[in-house]
Amino acid sequence: MDVNQEILKLDWKRQPYGLYAPIEYTLSAGGKRVRPQLAMIACQLFEGKEEEVLPAALALEVFHNFTLLHDDVMDKAEIRRGRPTVHVKWDENTAILSGDQMMIEAYKLLAQLPDTKLPTALRMFNRMATEICEGQQWDVDFESQDDVSIEAYLEMIRLKTSVLLATALQIGAYIAGANQSEQETIYQFGIHIGLAFQIQDDILDVWGDPLTFGKSVGGDIACNKKTFVYLTALNLLDKEGLKHELKHWFGQTLENNAEKIAAVKTIYDQIGVRKACERVVEQYTQKALLLLKELPQNNATLQLRQLADQLNTRNS
C-alpha cells in the first residue's frame, strides 16, 4: 500500500475553505512520509492487515504535519519544503486555527480504528502527542539556558523526534497483534533510530554537503543552537581555552555568519568532535539493529534494517 497516495487521497475540498485549504496545502507538500511508513512496516512485520493500520498511519502523518505548521509559526520560518509556510501564504491566525483543526483531523483518522483497538491506540497516541509538546518546550527552554547537559539534550530530542517514530512503530505493531514485549522492543528500536537520526542531522548541519543537505549548512551555528555537536565540543574542551572561544562565538548574533561558521568549524575540527559524534550515531544505530534481532525476521525486518543503516551513512 502506498501511504503517500493514501495521504493525497484525503479530501479537503470542504467549507469553510479558509480552514481546510491550508491543511490541503500542507499535506500536499510531500515529505518522506517516514512515520506512516513505519506504522505500515511494523504492521507487516507482525503480519497484520494493512487496511486496519492505515487510519493510524494517516493520523500520525497528519499530526506530524500539524506540529510542523505550528512550529513554523513559533519559529517564524518562512519556507517549508520549498514553499512559503502557511502563516506567510495566509496569515498567522489561519496557521493557528488550521493547525488546531489538523490536530483534530489526526484524532478523527485515529477514531476510524476498530473499537477493539481504538482505546489503547488512543492512549499511545496521546502520550506521544504530549511528549512532542514537552520536547518542543524543552527546546525553547534550552535557548535561554546557559548550561545544557548532554543528557538533557538527548532527552529533549527523544521527546521531540524519537517518540513519534517509536509510537508509529508501536501502534502499527499493536494493531497487527504484537504482544507487549514485542511492542516495547520495536518502540525502543524507534527511539534509537530517532536519536541517531537527530544527531546525524546535527552533524550534517556542520559538515553536510551544501548541495544535498536540505537546510543551509551552518544554520545551527549561526543561530547559536545548542546541538549535540556543540554540547559534545564543550565537553571535550572542558579544560582548554578554546571553550571560552567557542562560547564567545555562540554569544553573538551576526548579520553575516561566514566568519563565525568557519571559526567554529575550525575549533570543532581541532578537537575531533565530528568523530566523537559519529561514534554516538553508530552506537545508537548498533543498539537499534540489536533490538531488531529480537523481532520476527521477514521482509519488513529487512526494510527496518536498511532504514537504520541509511540513517547512519546518509549525507542529506
Number of residues that bind a second copy (CB under 8 A): 34
Compute the radius of gyration of the chain from its Cα atoms.
Answer: 20
**How many angstroms separate the CA atoms of 69 and 102, rounded?**
9
Q: Which of residues 199-238 bind a second copy (CB under 8 A)?
A: none
Per CB under 8 A, does 158 bind a second copy?
no
* Positions 274 through 303 that interact with a second copy (CB under 8 A): none
| CB-based contact 33:7 (threshold 8 Å) | yes
Residue 266 near a second copy by CB under 8 A: no
Identify the residue among 16, 82, 210, 241 touching a second copy (CB under 8 A): 16
Q: Which residue in 219, 237, 236 sits closest to 227, CA to CA?
A: 219
Stretch that binds a second copy, among 33-41, 124-132, 254-262, 280-288 (CB under 8 A): 124-132
Choice between 81 and 123, CB closer to a second copy: 123
Of these, 28, 93, 270, 306, which contacts a second copy (CB under 8 A)?
93
**Choices 41-49, 92-100, 162-170, 235-243 (CB under 8 A): range interacting with a second copy:** 92-100
Listing DSSP states for 215-278 in one string gives SPTTHHHHTT---HHHHHHHHHTTTSTHHHHHHHHTT---S--HHHHHHHHHHHHHHTHHHHHH
The values of phi and psi at residue 156, to 5°, are -60, -45
Q: Which of 137, 179, 212, 252 binds a second copy (CB under 8 A)?
A: 137
Q: Does 89 bind a second copy (CB under 8 A)?
A: no
* Closer by beta carbon to a second copy, 71 or else 309: 71
Q: Are 263 and 244 a contacting pair, CB within 8 Å?
A: no
141 counts as binding a second copy under rule CB under 8 A: yes
Cβ distance to a second copy smaller for residue 61 or 131: 131
Query: What does the alpha-carbon distance between residue 52 and residue 176 come to, in Å, rounded to a whole number?
Result: 8
In terms of Cα–Cα distance, which of 64, 71, 237 is closest to 139? 71
Backbone angles phi, psi at 83, to 5 degrees: -130, 155
Residues that bind a second copy (CB under 8 A): 15-16, 18-19, 70, 73-74, 93, 96-97, 99-101, 103-105, 107-108, 111, 115, 118-119, 122-123, 126, 129-130, 133-134, 136-138, 140-141
